[in-house]
């Protein structure tokens, strides 16, 4: 999953003075023309003009401030999922978030944005707390998960936003504490994703007392579900969001006698993967990008895929589903550098 926003001006023509300023402020670990394909789950993406790994919250805030002062476009990357980076790359400063501190005190869990979500789920369960188990199968970091309100809709309180007490963000030159009820969490969204003005630094969660044995059983269950998804190949995760059911009778007419339809109607969501499968698109390939034969809402990189091929295949899928069923799919993946 990714977090953050792009701001500023095009810097393709900037002088070496900018590089010197960045090195003076961020250190010699700053990289130039770093391929973003190395830092995304899709293994796709051209070079970032400048690239920096923030290992602490202080380094992250400092990098944000430096980019602002130099008027550089800024890209914040979490775990590298749910993003598609242009083949042309990103003409600014890309910051990989690796701050990894966390604490568990009673029922309160505090975690920095760069903490691996799967790792945190295991630690929380081992501490005798419950609520996070459905998130064990979600790739990426705490910050990225909050940005897109990651989770699974089939479970009550199955999204990370259901457990957020507070999110700490960098807003301009100010550190702001945003209460959970003001985070605007919805299906695959949050106020942070909608506005793009805040950069997530850390979060506080209020969980519930649980049973360690039952939590481990749930974790095994959700990990088993993950195995049905094509994580053995590079992908960005789900490409499209599921669709809310607004007219069940219309869907029954469009898909008469289709197995599982009533299950989806009861849930109130029509899975995009099911629609893509119904359109006969599993295995459809353009160049080195393929609609997964395991899970139709995943596009997988067969080896040397390009962002251009992903865009073409996404457009084709949307056109086919729209023409066959009159339903418009909406992307979940976030476009960078287009």
Q: pLDDT tens, 47-81?
A: 999 999 999 999 999 999 999 999 999 999 998 99
Q: Is 152 strand, coil or helix?
A: coil
Whole-angstrom Cα distance, residue 336 to residue 338?
A: 6
| H-assigned helices in 5-56 | 16-26
Catalytic residue among 112, 238, 309, 334: 238
Q: How many CB atoms sit inside 10 A of residue 172's CB? A: 12
Q: What is the mean pLDDT of the chain?
A: 92
> What integer pLDDT is reported at residue 15 of this predicted model?
56
- CATH fold of 230-336 reads 3.90.78
* Domain locations along the chain: 16-97, 102-215, 230-336
Catalytic residue among 112, 188, 306, 309: 188
Per the CB < 8 A criterion, the answer to whether 277 and 293 are in contact is no
- CATH fold of 102-215 reads 3.30.465
Catalytic residue among 34, 59, 309, 332: 332
Buried-exposed string 49-60: b where 16+ CB fall within 10 A, e elsewhere:
bbbbbbeebebb
> What integer pLDDT is reported at residue 241 of this predicted model?
94
Per the CB < 8 A criterion, the answer to whether 29 and 46 are in contact is no
Whole-angstrom Cα distance, residue 136 to residue 224?
A: 11
pLDDT tens, position by position, 3-55: 333 333 333 444 578 999 999 999 988 999 999 999 999 999 999 999 999 99
The CATH number fitting domain 16-97, selected from 3.60.10.10, 3.40.50.620, 3.30.43.10, 3.30.1490.20: 3.30.43.10
Q: Is 188 an annotated catalytic residue?
A: yes
């Amino acid at each position: 999953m990714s977090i953050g926003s792009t701001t500023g001006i095009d810097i393709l023509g900037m002088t070496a003075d900018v590089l010197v300023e960045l090195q003076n402020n961020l250190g010699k670990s700053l990289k130039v023309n770093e391929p973003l394909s190395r830092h995304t789950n899709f293994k796709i993406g051209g070079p970032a003009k400048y690239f920096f790994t923030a290992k602490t919250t202080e380094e992250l805030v400092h990098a944000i401030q430096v980019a602002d002062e130099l008027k550089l476009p800024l890209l914040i990357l979490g775990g590298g999922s749910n993003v598609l980076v242009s083949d042309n790359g990103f003409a600014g400063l890309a910051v990989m978030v690796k701050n990894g501190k966390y604490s568990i005190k009673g029922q309160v869990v505090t975690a920095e944005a760069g903490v691996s979500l799967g790792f945190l789920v295991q630690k929380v369960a081992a501490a005798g707390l419950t609520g996070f188990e459905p998130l064990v199968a979600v790739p990426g970091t705490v910050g990225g998960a909050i940005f897109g309100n990651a989770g699974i809709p089939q479970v009550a309180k199955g999204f990370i936003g259901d457990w957020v007490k507070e999110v700490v963000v960098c807003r301009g030159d100010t550190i702001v504490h945003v209460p959970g009820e003001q985070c605007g969490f919805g299906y695959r969204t949050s106020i942070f994703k909608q506005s793009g003005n805040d950069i997530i630094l850390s979060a506080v969660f209020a969980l519930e007392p649980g049973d360690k044995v039952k939590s481990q059983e749930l974790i095994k269950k959700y990990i088993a579900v993950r195995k049905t998804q094509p994580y053995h190949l590079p992908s960005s995760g789900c490409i499209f969001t599921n669709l809310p059911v607004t007219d069940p009778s219309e869907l029954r007419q469009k898909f008469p006698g289709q197995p599982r339809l009533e299950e989806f109607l009861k849930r109130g969501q029509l899975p995009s993967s099911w629609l893509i499968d119904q359109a006969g698109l599993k295995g459809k390939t353009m160049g080195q990008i393929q609609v997964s034969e395991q899970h139709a809402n995943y596009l997988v990189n067969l080896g040397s895929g390009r962002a251009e091929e992903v865009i073409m295949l996404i457009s084709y899928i949307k056109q086919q589903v729209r023409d066959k069923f009159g339903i418009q799919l909406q992307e979940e993946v976030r476009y960078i550098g287009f």
